Structures are given as structure tokens and as C-alpha cells.
Chains A and B, each alone.
Chain A
Amino acid sequence: MGIDLDDFLEFYLLDSQEQIERLGAGLLDLERSGENISLINDLFRSAHSLKGASGTMGFTPIVELTHAAEDLLDKLRQGKMSVTNDIIDVLLAVTDKVKLMLGQVEKRMNITVDFFDLKSQMKMLTETGALAETAPAGANSAPVNRVTHNENIINIKEIINNDINQRKTEVKKAVDFKLLTEEQEKVCDALSVGKYVYRIDVRLSQNTMMKAVRAVMVIQRLEQLGDVVKITPTVEELESNEDNEFYILYSTNEAPEDIQSDVLEVSDIDEAMVSYFVSEEAETMKISDLEDTAVENLTPTENGTAQVKVEDAAAEKMIVPMNASRAGDVSTTDGQKEGSNQVHTIRVDTARMDNLINLVGEMVITRTRLVKIGQDLQAVNPSEPLVANLNESNMYLGRLMSDLQESVMRLRMVPIGTVFSRYPRLVRDFCRKTGKKIDLVIKGEETELDKTVIELIGDPLTHIIRNSVDHGIETPEERLAIGKPEAGTITLNAYHEGNHIAIIVSDDGGGLNLEKIYEKALAKGLISKKEELSEKDIANLVFLPGFSTADQVTDISGRGVGMDVVKKTITSLGGMIDIRTEKGQGTSMVIMLPLTLAIIQALLVGVGEETYAVPLSSVLETLLVKRNEFKAVGGIPMVQLRGNTLPLISLKDKFDLTEHEQLNEEVYIVVVGLGDKSIGIIVDELLGQQEVVIKSLGEFLNGIPGIAGATILGDGKVTLILDIASLIQDILISR
């Protein structure tokens, strides 16, 4: 029992979940693009490998569902049916069901999700589709578009195909080349520059002496015209074992027959078979179905070789199974991408990664201490050369550290596309339900963000998008009536802006109805008539907690539902959200988020004997104020700041710091703000700004009001980080 079944299960789950996501996204694409044959082919492959993997693991319900889906896709693929909304609906339902099933598998439960309805629906679709098409449809005559090059690949001439496959299984032994990463890369590279990758089966004569020498001679010959990627068994093994055969993986521009004759020139070689190399995965994915395309639909130059292949195959001298990679550029890159993704990325337990990040953070801190020691030494003994040495090394270490830190932080970065990818489905389902027409445009999905942020931003975005779809975009009739295009557009965009990432959700719908919002807010007592509010202020009222009960907001074109929660989540991530709206033109939600949560810029302040860190992102300014300028309003001290009253908070009172208070005539005030609210924090000293690594206080001390976490400063002492949001909330509620 060397291997834990759980490990397999983990892999199975990860892969299947990926596969199902791909299937879901592909289906949406398919709905949009209609009869896109290469896409259907991809979908078929996903369903197929999902089925295969589930079969291996013994999850029969998943096998049955995906099998039915595969049948349906196969019909589409062969052009016996065309893509309809019904089909897409059913297949999307399959992805949902499979997701549920995988969920149960993940929880180590038995699969209990009922799927027979869905299965029979698919069966019906598959069968009725087949009935509709009277011709027995050899794919030859199937009405499939073959306009573009890459669509060619799915044209299946089953007869030839089967024939070739048969020969292949007869003649070809399965050889596992066990490619290493770099070898895999070589193969990918070769294919990407348009070279062929061949597998060459070489059989030596019986009783050949010095088999290894022959092999080396073969390799030497081949190397003149291309690259030998791998030989198996290795030359050494060949010498020591009984085998008379060896296999070579070879990339070149040459035609197979040339290679063959070249190899045969080496003495003592009985037979050399040259075939296109197909990786194991590709084979199981049935890419082999595509091979014959090469026969029929290649560009002239390739056509020549393709013909040769078939003839040779017939001659049984040389087997030319399909080469999906060669047949169409699109499938080349796809197939290879899958392969290379598997080798180029590793999945790492987040706990291990966090530990690494933690250690690096610790090194950063330790370096700060070294720097301090260096400075202190220099002050004591400025002429000592060792001190200068130390300081110089510290500087170099500093550079290394910041590089290291950046690299490590990047480990946590995930493209935001992983979140964005769930919205096309959301919008699509909604459109089907309401009859609205909406194009979802997604931009900047490659923009990277900290994993934690990614995980938490999904729900707020869902909320915003749902609001846009529900209240923002008008019905097609309304839109046409006011001269807008029938289909509305929602744009989801992400990009870097300095140390932040901006995520913008905009629609070209009706915009917020500011008058109604204003009236509602007045009626609810959230604002008073006396307050003068700009349009922007009014729009921002939807973020107020009282504004979020559903009934009063859905009837205006507002987005009140739960927007306070959205805002809360975003501020808890250290971000901000802003509304830009124009009546009749649409609404944009602009979200700014910090790139990472682990390291922040902080302003260190001294209060009595304590030091606190204030996240710089919420610091607006600092002031030096005379105490006699304080005015108490309702028991809370305030100062006038450019015509506005700024409520003040004393950390000494707030945190019950009992240290003797020196009543300085002047105090520093750190003005902090979140959104449109700001308060001043009274402190004794400003100690400067610094990058700090945020550490958790642990579960025992979590949730202390006013404290967001801790950090360790250069002197090794723990310093607490203030939670500005909760401080502001505290003081503004008590007002």
C-alpha cells in the first residue's frame, strides 16, 4: 500500500473540476459562436476524459451522465445535429449535476444526486437528432463546414480512420517515453515551430553484437537532420539487456520516408518504423479520430506528405497514425498546452506556501535588525572597516531580500480570470430567464491578484453583476425604444493601477434613479433635508446599511440590495468601491483593491509607550493641532478641518492605556478615511512609515475591536495594526 487512495482522489477531483469548468465555459462559447466544430471537438474531449477518469475511479453516475453527454456531443461533432439552445441547456445542466456529484465525492459521500431525467433528456435529444438526419452520414458527406483550416480536423473518415487505428494497434507497441519536463518542452517547441515529431521504432538483427554502438550510430545520423529528444531504453540499458528493439523520439523537418531510409543505412538494422509521435494523453483523448483529416484537407504542401503517409501505411512499412498536432494548428496548441501545463505547474498546499511567505517575512524583519545593528555600530565606531563591510553586505542582502520577497509574493498571485469565468454563465442564465439580451465583455482576466483577495471578491462581484443584469440593463423593447442597441453590454474589466488593482463593472443600462434614491433615503431618515448632497453622494447612499432591504429598492432602478455587504467585504480587504452613474447611459462600479494582503505600507505612531501601525492606504493626512482647538460635540472631541468637523478618537481612551498622560499643548492627528467618512486619531508621535508584514493574532485574540492584526518591527517587538474600518464605525455609530 504505497500509495494513498486519497491522493488519487485529490488529483481526480482537481482534474475533473477543471474539466467541468472548461466544459461549462466551452458550452457558453458554443452558444455564442454557433457551429464551431473545433470547439465542439474540445468539448467532446473534455467529456470523454471526464468519463474516463470517473470510470477509473468507479464513480458510475458521473460516467453515465458524461457518457450521455458525450454521445450528444458526438452527434454535434459529426454534424448529424446542429447546436440548439435546448442542447446547450441540457449540457449545462449536466455540468451542474456533475459539479454536485463531484462535491459529494469531495466530501467522501456516496453520490446520491439524481440524474435520470437529465440522462433521458439527453438520450431523447441524441435520438431525435439522429432521426432527423436521414442520411447515414459518413462524415464525408456530413454537412460540416470546412471553411477554415482548423475546422478540418474533425472531419472524420471513419473507415480509413479505423483502418489506420487497427494497424496501429497491431503493429505498434505502447512505448512509454516518460518525458521529463525539458523533453516535453522540446517536443512542444519543435511542434510550435512546425517541425514533425516522430517516434522511430528500430529493430536490430538477431544476435547483433554491440547493440549500443548501433544505437549510437543511428542517433548520430539522425542528429544531422534534427533533434533526438529521447531514446528508450537508454543506450546503456540496451547494451545490458536482451531487447533487440529501441525507440527514438525525434524532431525534424524531414519526411518520414527519408528518415526511415537514413536509419536503415546503419548496418545490422532490420527494420525502422517511423510514425508520428502522440503522447499518451492525446491518444486516450481520441485525438486519433482526427488523423485522417490530414489525408483530405491539408494545405498543398502538407497534402503531399499526407498522401505519402497513407500509402505507406497501406504498405505496412511505415505506420502513419494521425498527428493531431500536425493536422491543424489549433489542435496542436491545444493538445500541447494541456501537456505542458501539467509539467510546468505544480499544485502546492497553501499551508506550505504560507509558511514560506512567513519565513521570508521573518527574514525581512531580521534584516531590518541587522541594518539597525550596523547603524548603531557605525555610530559607536565610525572608522572600523568591518562596520562598513557589514553595512555594505546589509545593503546587498536588502536587494536580495526584496527580490526574494517579490518572487515569493508572486506565488500567491492568481489571475482574476478564475473568478471572472463564472459570470458568463450567470448572465446567460439570467438572460434566458428574463428575455433580456446582454453581452458580457470580459477584459483583463490575466491581471493577477492575491489568492485571498480573489477568493473573497467573487461574491461581491456576483452581486454587482446580478444587479446590473436585473436593474441596470433595460429590456430589449425599452432599449430599442430609446434608440439603444437591442442587446445591453456589461463590461467586466480588471487592470493594475499602481499598487492597486482596479476592477470595473460597467453597464450601458438606465443608470441609477438618483431622485428616487434621494427620496427613499429621506423617507427612511438616513439623510436630512438640510444636507446638501452631490449626485455622487446620492449614488453612494445605496451603500448605507438601511438601504438594503429588498422591497423598496427593486422597484427603482437602483442597486440597493445588499450593497452594504458588498461595500463591507471590499473595505475589509482594504479596498474601496465607488459608483459612477449617468442617467440613461449606464452605471459603473469601480473597485480598487490592494494587490496583496500580506504586506502593507504602514504609518507607525506612538501613543504613550505603545506603538501602533496605521495602514497607509487609509491615511489621508496628518495634522498638528493645538489642544485648545478641540471642541466637544456630543461628548466627542472634534476639530475644524477646512470647514468640516472632524471627529477625533483618542487611542488612550479607546484602548484604556493607563499610562500617565502628558498633556502636550499640541498633538498629532492622523486623519484616516474609508470611503467618504473620515476621523482623526490623536497620537503622541509620528514614527515614520514602513513596510510591514501582516500577521494574524491567532484565533484566541481575533476580533478585538480596533485591531486588525499584528506585525513585528525591526526590534523584534510585536506591534498591533489598527483596524480603521472598525474605529470609524465605532465612533460614527456612537455619534
Chain B
Amino acid sequence: MAEEQMVTFSLGTEEFGVDIMKVQEIIRIPPITRVPKAKSYVEGVINLRGIVIPIVNLRTRFGMPSAVETDLSRIIVLQIEGKVFGIMVDSVAEVLRLNDDAIEPPPPIALGMDANFIRGVGKIGERLLILLKLDQIIGGDAQHEQTA
């Protein structure tokens, strides 16, 4: 039985999961340099040990109201097809395993968010975990459709 390992995090009351293989590291929020004229969801750029990487504010990206940074706020650094970027989240929760059969396709209207970002919904008992389609988060334009 195939299973996936997920890093889960939260934005407001929602819980999300990303494939652990795509996660390079999780860091506290360093000073962020704003980039003028960049897309609104791009919070800015940070220095990750000498590499300048863009940071996506996931709240803005998903059209959620912005929130104040707290001690729990983190940046999850993701690496997708060799490209590195970070997503800003309210807090990182845990790492868990999810069986394939616990993953359902995204509901047509997924929690008011753009369904393009959602790969599926994972069920862990009563908890619902929104699994993100990461290549859609930055760059915006629809890339090749994944048949997950």
C-alpha cells in the first residue's frame, strides 16, 4: 500500500499538507525585502544562505485575509523541479503518513479556494487535510495538468 509523507501546516483554521519530498527546510521568518512591482502574493525575497529566493504569502495567494506574523509563523522552503522558493504559513504542525486510499479528489468548490491549487483532500479520522498542488503556487499560469 503506497503511502505519502506529508508536512502539515495551518493557515487560520485550515490544515494543509505538502509532500515531504518537496520540502527542503523549514525556517523562521527572516527579514524580507519587498520587491516592487512583483505579483501581489509575492511577499518579497530572502537570503537563504547566499541564494536569493522568493517568498509567497500563501494567505494572499489563496485570497485569505492577511494575518499578523506570530512566533509560530514559518517559511517552508520548497524545491520543485530545481526551483527553490518559500511559502509563508501561520504555523507548521507535524509530519504524518497518509495512505493513498485516504486521499480524495478535490471537491468542486474547495473551501472557497481556487481548486487549481488543490490536489486532493486527505482524511485522517475527522481531520481534513488539504493537499496542495505545489507547481501552481508560484508562477501562476497553469502548467501541465497532473494526473495524480
Contact = CB atoms under 8 A, between A and B. Distances in A.
A718 B37 contact: no
A604 to B, nearest CB: 13
A396 interface: no
Contacts of A699: 83
A81 B65 CA distance: 85
B35 A695 contact: no
Main secondary structure of the interface of B (DSSP, over half): strand
Contacts of A720: 33, 35-36
A698 B53 contact: yes
A700 B83 contact: yes
Contact of A704 (B36, B46, B52, B139): B36
Given A697-B52, A698-B83, A701-B42, A717 B35 contact: no
Interface residues of B, number: 24
Interface string B14-43: 000000000000000011011111100010
Contact of A700 (B47, B51, B54): B54
Contacts, number: 73
Interface string A689-725: 0000001111111001111001010001111100000
B85 interface: yes
B33 A710 contact: yes
Contacts of B44: 718
Contact of A707 (B35, B47, B49, B84): B35
Contacts of B139: 700
A700 B36 contact: no
Contacts of B38: 701, 704
A530 interface: no
A656 interface: yes
A694 to B, nearest CB: 10
Nearest to A711: B52
B61 to A, nearest CB: 13
B42 A718 contact: no
A678 to B, nearest CB: 22
A722 to B, nearest CB: 10
A698 B52 CA distance: 7
Contacts of B83: 698-700
Interface in A316-365: 358-359, 361-362, 365
Contacts of A656: 36-37
Interface string A651-685: 00011110000000000000000000000000000
B45 A710 contact: yes
Nearest to A698: B54
B138 interface: yes
A364 to B, nearest CB: 10
A358 B45 contact: no
B138 A700 contact: yes
B52 A706 contact: no
A697 B35 contact: yes
Output the residue of A359, A696, A697 with the most chain B CB within 10 A: A697
A717 B46 CA distance: 7
B108 interface: no
A362 B50 contact: yes
A2 B42 CA distance: 46
B10 to A, nearest CB: 25
Contacts of A446: none
